[in-house]
Amino acid sequence: MIQMLLFSSIGVALLALLYLFALRSDPKPEGGAQALVGARGALTSLRTGLLPLDLVERVFAQDDLEFVMSRSNPRVQKIFLRERKKIALAWVTQVRKQVLNLKAFHSGQSRLYAGLDARTEIVLALNFISLLVLCRALQAAFYLRGPFAARPMIAPAISVGAKICSVSERSLAFLTPGEQRFPEAAGHREA
């Protein structure tokens, strides 16, 4: 029974992947003007930062919540929470879009290099997946419980995601024996 379920799920997963592949339109060959403009735009947005950090601070400011909850009437409180929820959802949607842009930029550029490193690429792909899952989890949490009440739902998801990433990274070490290629980047993430 377990064997049947395992093999059937492999087949079903392959069909799902095939469905996505069949729907995908053939991308334009790289080197075109549009691809170059897109890549440059993505790179600029990466260099200038995804979004201003003070905006993030403001959207989720606990002081604002405490102030409104202590001073205003229930109607105003309701409007405040609704507006903050909208802003938080818009913010996380934009971060997700930027991560997708970053992924498109990296995959579009990296394939032009002769010395593509399998381990680095797999680790980056896993990181992209974990970030996108995190964005979706945040979206769901903000939608269901609002920006201020989402913390207990998200914190475990983040730690699980980080753990998966570090385990995957370690398990892929066999692909590049010898020194670690980006010790400072890896160290930053571990921290």
Partner 1 sequence: MVRFRPVPEKLTLIAWLSGIVIEVAILARGLTQKMAPQYPFFFAYLSCVFLSSASGLVVERLRPGWYAHWYWGWEFVCVIAGYSVVLEIIEKGLAPHLAGAKKLFRNLAMLVFSAIVGYMVIQWMWVRHASAWRTSAYVEMNLRTAEAFLLAAIIAAIGYYGISVGKNLKGIIVGYTWCVAIIVIVDSVQSHLGKSFQDLFSSLRSTSYLIALLIWVIALWSYQPVPFVAPPTQPRKDYEVLTATTKEAMDSARTQLEKAARR
> What element of type H or E holds 134?
helix 118-145
Pick between residue 77 and residue 145 the one whose CB is nearest to partner 1. Answer: 145
Q: How far is the CB of 102 from partner 1 (least distance, A)?
A: 5
Shortest CA distance to 39 belongs to which of 110, 124, 112, 109? 109
Cβ proximity to partner 1, 72 vs 107, nearer residue: 107
Sign of the alpha-carbon dihedral angle for 127, 120, 51, 64: positive
Q: How far is the CB of 170 from partner 1 (least distance, A)?
A: 16
What's the closest the beta carbon of residue 17 comes to partner 1, in angstroms?
5
* Sign, CA torsion 158/159/165/168: negative
CA gap 142, 92 in Å, rounded: 9
CB closer to partner 1 out of 79 and 118 = 118
Identify which of residues 77 and 106 has a Cβ nearer to partner 1 in the complex: 106
Q: Are the C-beta atoms of residues 68 and 80 closer than 8 Å to each other?
A: yes
Considering the complex, what minimum distance in angstroms separates the CB of residue 142 from partner 1? 9
